[in-house]
Structure 1
Amino acid sequence: MLIYPVILVGGSGTRLWPLSTADRPKQFLPLTSDCTMMEETLRRVSGRPGFAPPILVTGDRHVGILGELLKATGLTASAILVEPEGRNTAPAVAMAAHWIAQRDPDALMLVMPSDHVIGNLAAFHQRIADALPVARSGRLVTFGVQPDHPATGYGYIAKGAPLDGDADIHEISEFVEKPTLSVAQSYLDGRRHSWNAGIFLFTASAFLSELALLAPDVAGPMAQAMAEAVDDGTLTRPGAASFGAATNQSIDYAVMEKTRRAVVVPVDIGWSDVGSWDALWAIRGRDERDNSITGPAVVEDGSRNLIFVDGGPPVGALGVSDMVVISTAEAVLILPRNRSQEVKTIMEAHRALHARRADVAEQEG
């Protein structure tokens, strides 16, 4: 029984602005190594025994850059499924499930984002192997990351009773959205909760069955959209009108939080979603003063800074600590590391200022 990796390739490029943009979101950037995160994700699941080439789910905006990456690396895909519009992860996964079910309904799907870091690849694949019998039996597996700090920006999964015969795979007690700091600390201390990493393993038939039962407003339109799909030999495009009729829902909300088939497999795999500049600082190499510096930049009498120069002016920093400085051709961003989650606010203000200046220039011209 083959495993089809299903890689979700989207993103609005807001959390790591101005380096990441809608046209070039973080998975297409070499943030943690010389390779882009997208290439690292592809290599993580390519050419392995029992694995088919991955299925890539993306939008028109990223088809070109994705094709360039595949050509440059020599990596291959089983299919590239192109969303007519963004409709969240439940329709995206349903698209891939229908593609697989038309060929082998009992094949397994390993669903994952394209923009996460997994530092311990051996542990990741071992836990996939541990979960295979459970997924083959019709269960919907989610992989829960062992927390190492009280994060308030992640969803959490609470472990319930262990499955019979396997003390390290659990029923799911509850899903919890982003908690307060005190609650997150209690989760860390209690060791019953895992971060929700958005990585899943199940058969195509099991997922489609639960989707039809629990989210018919996604299942019906997606079944019709894939029945209308056009495949030109490179790209598969579902019927646009039917696709657009699917309710905009995440896979967690549509299925995983409601199904009785869900189980959680705890993992300790060196995972990060690189969801902020602070998170990037935490996983990058740093100097003796804990500064992480990329590009032409100098720090004097400062520590614990993240400085990233890519196409913008060189940076000199004197006497500053715990800061983020990002220099690109679009903009220069400066903020405290502990306010990294607020990047969207300054990005929107910057773009509004740019739009006002463009309007003035047009009027004066």
Structure 2
Amino acid sequence: MPLSRPIVPVILSGGSGTRLWPMSRPERPKQMLSLTAAETMLQLTATRVMGELRADGTRGEGNGGERFTAPIVVANARHADMIDEQLDAVSASAQAVILEPAGRNTAPAIALAAIAAGDGASPLLVMPSDHVIDDVPAFHAAIHAAMPLVEQGWLVTFGIAPDAPETGYGYIQVGEEVSPGVNRVVRFVEKPPREKAEAMVAGGDHAWNGGIFLFRADAYLGALSHHAPDMLSACTAAMDGARQDGQRIYPDADAFAASPSDSIDYAVMEKADRVAVVPVSMGWSDLGSWDALHAISPRDETGNAHQGDIVAIETVNCLVRSDGVRIAMVGVEDLIVVASGNDVLILPRGRSQEVKKLIEAMKDG
């Protein structure tokens, strides 16, 4: 049986996406870009939980018949117009856009959405706005599997079946099964060194932490009241003092600034008692680097993934993208070359995580 209340999608869109510079910038971060399809990352996230419009205004999706409301988006105030335009373009307009006066990490952002959801028993599906999920039916099957425990007040996360010992992801140790397809979380593991990652993947009982969650609003706020009461107090005050303009909600800046800045993993998931994980293989990527984009992009017969005005001769295994200027390459391999506006990024494949170093160096310069 599906939940009696429809699921409220909560889309977290506060990130700046600096790892995909120069195309991703604070004024237009990666969730606002078309990187893997004609749609932007934000649009793809929203449309995963749309389905056919029902008479009651909800949308149906998934084999379990779950219903979804219009999403609540939590975002940076500077992106408000862009969010409205992009969601309207795919008929996925938000029921509320909560515009954070400052970034305080994911736990307070989710608290704002849980308060805005109104009905404490409403289930919230929390999704980052900039992740890739290729197998949407598998995602919905995982949501359906989580439903019985969500109704009982459990906090559920989704563990991505690992296909490599990635050191850039956190991990979840998967414990005993507590419901069909759902397991108790033994522990959360920070981004590990390679040897530890290799051992966890080889052991078969760890999944990547994908940062996607499903729980009732009251269960999350109750966990905050126990484990992070100062955060809950600040977020409640911020929403009590919020200004509303149509669907846009502006939490009180002074009250929100008093909130500790913490992730949901640290503030709640690592401390709460009834925490479960649904292991799932759904073609997931956090698209956290140009290397990650190269790995999931269609490539030509020489291993190149390219978009824009590109000329490549005797060039192998490169990612090349331009939103304007022509890029011409001869006799090179294993490079990432990205041109956007007046900026050009060039670095070897495998080192795209070091883009952050470049951004810091440019700030210092």
Q: What TM-score, normalized to structure 1? A: 0.93
1:70 offset after TM fit, Å?
Answer: 2.6
Question: For 1:93-141, what per-residue CA distance to the aligned partner results, in whole angstroms no more than 9, with x for missing partners?
Answer: 00011111x3x21110000100000000000001101111111100000
Task: Give the whole-Å Cα distance in 2 for the aligned partners of 1:13 and 1:159.
Answer: 29
The structure 1 residue matched to 2:154, chosen from 139, 158, 161, is 139
Q: CA shift at 1:10, angstroms?
A: 1.5
User: Matches of residues 37-52 of structure 1 in structure 2 within 5 Å?
Assistant: 37-47=41-51, 48-49=59-60, 50-52=67-69
Q: CA deviation at 1:310?
A: 1.1
Give the whole-Å Cα distance in 2 for the aligned partners of 1:153 and 1:181. 10
Number of the residue aligned with 1:22: 26
2: distance between equivalents of 1:260 and 1:150? 28
> 2:91: which partner in 1?
74
Match of 2:166 in 1: 151
State which of 241, 244, 267 in structure 2 corresponds to 1:231: 244
Distance 1:285 1:327 in 2: 19
Structure 2 counterpart of 1:116: 131
Alignment of 1:91-102 (within 5 A): 91-100=108-117, 102=118
* Structure 1 residue 269 displacement after superposition: 0.3
Q: Which runs of 5+ in 1 are unaligned?
A: 354-365
Q: Does 1:252 align with 2:265?
A: yes
RMSD of aligned Cα (Å): 1.2
Equivalent positions of 1:211-360 (< 5 A) are 211-311=224-324, 313-353=325-365
Pick which of 147-156 and 179-188 moved more.
179-188
Cα displacement string for residues 312-335 of structure 1 (whole angstroms, at most 9, x for unaligned residues):
x31111221111001111311100
Q: Which amino acid aligns with 2:347?
A: L
Q: Is the 8 A contact 2:47 2:90 kept in 1?
A: no
Q: How far did residue 76 of structure 1 move?
A: 1.4
TM superposition shift of 1:351: 4.3
Q: Is contact 1:155-1:195 (8 Å) kept?
A: yes
Aligned-partner Cα distance in 2 for 1:226–1:201: 22
For the residue of structure 1 that corresponds to 2:74, the secondary structure is strand
CA distance in 1, matches of 2:215, 2:336: 40
Does the alignment pair 1:130 with 2:145? yes
Aligned to 1:92, the other structure's residue is in SS state helix
Equivalence for 1:105: 120
Q: Give, in whole Å, the separation in 1 of the partners of 2:116 and 2:349.
A: 43
Q: Describe the SS at the equivalent of 1:45.
A: coil
- Which residue identity lines up with residue 309 of structure 2 in the other structure? P
**Identical positions, percent:** 48
By percentage of residues, which structure has more helix?
Answer: 1
**Counterpart contact for 1:281–1:306, Cα < 8 Å:** yes
Q: Which amino acid aligns with 1:53?
A: A
Q: Which amino acid aligns with 1:147?
A: P
Q: Which amino acid aligns with 1:232?
A: D
Instruction: Give the aligned length.
Output: 348
**1:74 to partner: Cα distance:** 3.0
**SS, match of residue 93 in structure 1:** helix
Question: Matched residues in 2 for 1:39 and 1:81: separation?
Answer: 17
Give matches, 1:48-59, under 5 Å: 48-49=59-60, 50-59=67-76
Q: Give, in whole Å, the separation in 1 of the partners of 2:26 and 2:17.
A: 5
SS in 2 for 1:338: coil
- Following superposition of structure 1 onto structure 2, how do residues 174-189 of structure 1 map, counting pairs within 5 Å? 174-189=187-202
Q: Is 2:95–2:247's contact at 8 Å kept on the other side of the alignment?
A: no
Deviates more, 1:228-237 or 1:322-331: 228-237
- TM-score, length-scaled by structure 2: 0.93
CA distance in 1, matches of 2:151, 2:304: 46
Cα pair 1:3 1:52 within 8 Å, conserved: yes
> Does structure 1 retain, via aligned residues, the 8 Å contact 2:156–2:278?
yes
Could you tell me whether the CA contact under 8 Å between 1:23 and 1:61 is conserved in 2?
A: yes
2 CA distance for matches of 1:240 and 1:275? 30
Q: How far 1:352 moved relative to its partner?
A: 4.0
Structure 1 consecutive aligned stretches of length 4 or more whose deviation exceeds 6 Å: none
Task: Letter of the 1:196 partner, please give it.
Answer: N
Q: Is the contact made by 1:7 and 1:114 (CA closer than 8 Å) also made in structure 2?
A: yes
In structure 1, what is the Cα distance between the partners aligned to 2:107 and 2:7? 19
Deviation at 1:56, TM superposition (A): 0.5
Deviations 1:173-220 (A, max 9, x none): 111111111111112211111111110000001000001000112111
1:192 aligns with 2:235: no
